Amino acid sequence: MSVMCPIDLDREKLKSEVRTIYAKVAENPQGDFHFHRGPEYAARLLGYDLVELDALPRIATAPFAGVGNPFMMEALPSGGTVIDIGSGAGMDCLLAAKRVGLQGRVVGIDMTDAMLARARLGAAEAKLPQARFEKADMTELPLDSGTVDVVISNGVINLAPEKQKVFNELFRVVKPGGRLQFADIIVGTELSEDARNNIDLWTG
Amino acid sequence: MIEALQQTGFRNVRVCNFFNSFSGTTKEGVARKYGVQGANFVAYKAG
């Protein structure tokens, strides 16, 4: 999908729809949605280790709705600083926290209150104090420039109507020598204008 | 996505893995129609 937002798409309406849908996922992960959720899906289709996921609090794993696996690429640095854009209920953040260790830092960024609540409870239950969660828009990160070793994300950046702003912000916060390793949706065909303006297709 | 990341200033941007993220969902047909898949990306900031 093009990074340029369709002319007629209401950006605030799109953000509101995304927030609404993911609040519903947080409140009822077993509900009727058009996309997979949960640790069993993550293991079956995305290559996560189910044993590792089952060791995490269910409050964090049940609403997981990622589309790939950021942990398949380079190992996260022990003691490093990692941020997760669109952290949801925190499953990937908890996995990242275990990898960076107590000397590291993981910051989950999300705009949905219900997801943030689950994520904070999950981190406490998992006893991973190095993971914290902040409410923010991914185009305005509450982080100083050049402080992040690795940015992860899973199926979120595609939901942003202004992706270039997101990329610019990620470039700002990543340290020289740092990296992005994230999962997202790719589209194999050029979308029609009608398809680009269809919020239902954006939100799944 | 790749071009936009490169234009932002990231280097060695590439897709590493693909996933049939919508297999078995009610959107599987739409995903197949538009060639929608999950994918892993990596991109580096010069040090």
> Which residues, other chains included, contact A168 with Cβ-Cβ below 8 Å and sequence gap of 6+?
B8
- Give the three-state DSSP class for A132: strand
Which residue in the set A163, A183, A187 is minimally distant from B40, CB to CB?
A183
Interface residue B28 vs chain A (CB under 8 A): no
- Give the three-state DSSP class for B12: strand
Give residue-wise pLDDT tens across range B1-47: 899 999 999 999 999 999 999 999 988 998 888 899 999 999 999 98
Q: What is the pTM of this model?
A: 0.90
Specify the CATH number of the domain A11-198.
3.40.50.150
Report residue B12 as tokens.
């060695």
Say if CB A198 and CB B30 are below 8 A apart.
no
Distance CA A170, CA A180 (A): 8
Task: State yes or no: ipTM above 0.90.
Answer: yes
Q: In A, which residues are within 8 Å of B29 by CB distance?
A: none
Interface residue B40 vs chain A (CB under 8 A): yes
- Of B6, B8, B26, which to mutate for an interface test with A (greatest number of A Cβ within 10 Å)? B8
Give residue-wise pLDDT tens across range A68-104: 999 999 999 999 999 999 999 999 999 999 999 999 9
